[in-house]
A and B are shown apart, each in its own frame.
Chain A
């Protein structure tokens, strides 16, 4: 199993450009999520999904869109990139047991490092 795969690993954008960060998992996990990590801020939840066709907002959803058309994939879209979105983005996945992720360890990808000029 490859686990959680994020592409690309690095990207530089200009302000106003759009981009899709890819996330794929091969563990048949129901739950997937996106975080951003900034220095001194820890990880902040952007969006999450509890299954195909279902998404919801996290702590910092503004400026980001997501969709979940398959169990395996959970892309994150930046429609009009801003310098404030310069960050490291992490995707994670886990099973859900009894309709909850509460007792489930999350599996993380290695991140996408995004710079917006």
Chain B
């Protein structure tokens, strides 16, 4: 079964606005990863946050992790049309070598 579930399924915003996507997961984790997928392409790793971290930044990306609620959020600030893509969270099920993905959030940034 899939570990992560993203919310919302789709998000449409204007250029310059912030975009927030949420991910919930089911079991304990060591870390959580976010990936991006442009249309017709493979996934690209964006950021990894460890279970002992609460917040992490990378450029215009801000990721938070709340292990007590088993949830994470990805914030993209000052969005650009080029940020249009699908975004996925992924976790390794505890003790396994299986990286499990959520169903993703499709982000559209309108110029």
Q: Hey, which chain B residues are within 8 Å of A108, CB to CB?
A: 42-44
**Would you list which residues of chain A between 12 and 58 have a CB under 8 Å from chain B?**
31, 33, 35, 40-45, 48, 50, 56, 58
Task: Determine the distance from Cα of A59 to Cα of B100 in the docked complex, in whole angstroms.
Answer: 9
Which of B35, B43, B45, B92 has the most chain A CB within a 10 Å cutoff?
B43
Task: Decide: A102 and B42 in contact? CB cutoff 8 A.
Answer: no
User: How many residues of A are in contact with the other chain, CB < 8 A?
Assistant: 28
The answer, among A41, A45, A105, A110, for a CB contact under 8 Å with B98, is A45
**Is there contact, CB below 8 Å, between B99 and A105?**
no
Chain B: CB-nearest residue to A101: B97
Chain A binding surface SS class:
strand
Q: Report the tally of A-B residue pairs with Cβ distances under 8 A.
A: 66
Contact B33 A41 (CB under 8 A): no
Inter-chain contact A33/B42, CB cutoff 8 Å: no
Query: B22: shortest Cβ distance to chain A, in Å?
Result: 15
Q: Give residues in A with beta carbon < 8 Å to B.
A: 4, 31, 33, 35, 40-45, 48, 50, 56, 58-59, 90, 92, 100-103, 105-111
